[in-house]
């Protein structure tokens, strides 16, 4: 996505289309601030998820248990209404000789959440990227979010959470491993 897609002039026109005066004191700097905010909110388009996941073989050669990072913040925007959705993600994997720096899992979630999204696609994108780079035995991702498009318009149901999951590799057929991952992913 071009960073010029959200120019200050575009936001001035948007404010005027609402019936506002973009030159009134409270709005003079708004086009600049909004343009800057959208550049940050869509920074994931400029990131390559594969490059974020530096893998290490040292330390993983005999590790054969799940590695799980919970409560990873998710801040995204729905591609249907451009409304925010936000919540938490849990990402885990069962290594197959390679591990990744733990902060990289947070960076991976951040990369995909900083794009116009639907939660379902974002969940599987995170799982697929981890599977592609690490080639682990299993990958699990659980995302729990509140969607302002549901809370503030349409049905207007505040507080509802949408939970999506992706289970790849051995998490699909192995009920014991799947149960263990979901127990680790559950809020304490």
Asked if pLDDT for residue 1 goes beyond 60, the answer is no
- The parent domain of residue 18 ranges over 3-41
Q: Which of 77, 117, 119, 125 is catalytic?
A: 119
Q: What is the pTM of this model?
A: 0.93
Statement to judge: residues 29 and 119 lie in one domain: no
At residue 15 the predicted structure's pLDDT band, cuts being 50, 70 and 90, is very high
Q: What is the pLDDT of residue 4?
A: 57
Instruction: Say whether both 15 and 92 belong to one domain.
Output: no
84 and 30 belong to one structural domain: no
Same domain, 162 and 73: yes
77 is an annotated ligand-binding site residue: no
User: Is 81 in the active site?
Assistant: yes
- pLDDT tens sequence across 28-63: 999 999 999 999 999 999 999 999 998 888 777 788
Number of domains in the chain: 2
Q: What is the largest CA-CA distance in the chain?
A: 64
Same domain, residue pair 63 and 152: yes
5 pLDDT exceeds 80?
A: no
pLDDT surpassing 90 at residue 3: no
Which of 111, 147, 170, 180 is an active site residue? Answer: 147
């Amino acid at each position: 996505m071009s960073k010029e897609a959200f120019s200050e002039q575009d936001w001035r026109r948007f404010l005027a289309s609402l019936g506002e005066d973009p030159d009134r004191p409270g709005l003079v700097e708004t086009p600049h601030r909004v343009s800057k905010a959208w550049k940050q909110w869509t920074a994931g388009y400029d990131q390559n998820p594969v490059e974020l996941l530096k893998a290490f073989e040292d330390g993983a050669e005999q590790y054969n248990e799940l590695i799980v990072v919970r409560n990873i913040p998710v801040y995204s925007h729905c591609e249907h209404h451009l409304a925010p959705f936000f919540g938490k993600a849990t990402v885990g994997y069962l290594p197959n000789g390679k591990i990744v720096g733990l902060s990289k899992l947070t960076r991976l979630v951040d990369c995909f959440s900083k794009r116009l999204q639907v939660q379902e696609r974002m969940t599987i994108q995170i799982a697929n990227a981890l599977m592609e780079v690490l080639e682990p035995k299993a990958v699990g991702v659980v995302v729990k979010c509140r969607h302002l498009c549901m809370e503030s318009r349409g049905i207007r149901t505040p507080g509802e959470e949408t939970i999506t999951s992706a289970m790849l590799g051995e998490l699909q057929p192995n009920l014991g491993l799947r149960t263990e991952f979901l127990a680790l992913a559950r809020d304490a």
